[in-house]
Structure formats: structure tokens, C-alpha cells
Amino acid sequence: MRLCLILCLVLAGPLAAQSRAGAPAAAPDTPSNRLAAAKRYLKAVPPEELVAGTIEQVASQLPPDRQEPFKAALRKVIKVERIEEITLQAVTKHFTVKEINALAAFYSSPEGRSISRKFGAYMADVMPAIQQELEEAIEVIHKEVH
């Protein structure tokens, strides 16, 4: 469950930032144009790099002697192609052509590439606190209801 949550957040997190700089000329917001823009975005933010970074972050929480076998096991079972497919579907569902082009422009920039590389470590710092807050909130609600 935790791995799934981390993967989802790492993959979805970069979608929150947007930039107009360097975006291609506006194309009509059609499904085919969204797909073409989404493919350009995935060239700037390759799913295999995000998955590799996520695996490294998750493995770093294990004892050193268990990290390499864990990473090897994950690499065998995680289907990067499936993550790419899911990402394409989600990007084209939720964002316009203009927004997707802005994402691609941002993550193609030096700053965007730097942010993308650091995002996994950022989420690794933030997620434990968010999970703790949620657990405490659920406990409070549970006590109030019962």
C-alpha cells in the first residue's frame, strides 16, 4: 500500500507544476492533440526514470543488506509500460493541450529537470508526516463516532 501511494504521488506530483515558457503554439484541444502533447510531456518526464527514482527512495528505507534484492525484485514486477499508459490516459483526461504543453516545456527546462530529479526525495520527506497526520485524524474521528 505504501509503495503504491509513493508511486502514485511521485508520478502525479510533477503534474502540479506548470509553465508557459517554451510551450508550442496553441493547438485545438482535441483528444488526438492531447495525446500528442502528452507524449511530448513523457519525453521530458520519462516514466522509467520516475520509477527508478521511486524504487531507490523506497529501498533506502530498508536495511542496507536488503536494499539490492528488494530493488531487483521491484524492477522485475513493475511494468513501466503500464505506468506510461496510465500516465498518458490520466494526463489526456485531466489536462488541456495548452496545459500539457506547459508541463512539457517546464520539465524540459533545466529547472524542471532538476525538480523532477529531486521530487522523490521531497516526497519521501513529506509523506511520513502526511501519513501520520491522516492516521491521527482517523483515530480522532473514530473515537468521536464510537
Provide mean pLDDT across the span 42-61: 87
49 confidence band (pLDDT: 50, 70, 90) = confident
Residue 11 has pLDDT above 60, yes or no: no
pLDDT at 122: 87
- Residue among 60, 63, 78 at smallest CA distance from 8: 78
Tens digits of per-residue pLDDT, 52-94? Answer: 888 888 888 899 999 999 999 999 999 999 999 999 999 999 9
pLDDT at 118: 86
121 vs 69: which has the higher pLDDT: 69
pLDDT at 95: 97
**Cα distance between residue 58 and residue 50, in whole Å:** 12
Residue 114 has pLDDT above 80, yes or no: yes
Handedness of CA 23, 42, 99, 35 (dihedral sign): positive
Number of H helices, E strands in the chain: 7, 0
End-to-end distance of the chain based on CA atoms, in angstroms?
26
Q: What nine digits make up the cell of 70? A: 528488494
Non-local CB neighbours of 47 within 8 Å, separated by 6+ positions: 11, 80, 83, 84, 87
**Cα distance between residue 102 and residue 19, in whole Å:** 5
pLDDT at 145: 87
Contact 70, 59 (CB under 8 A): yes
Provide mean pLDDT across the span 4-16: 48
pLDDT at 24: 54
The burial class, CB within 10 Å (0-12 / 13-18 / 19+), for 133 is exposed
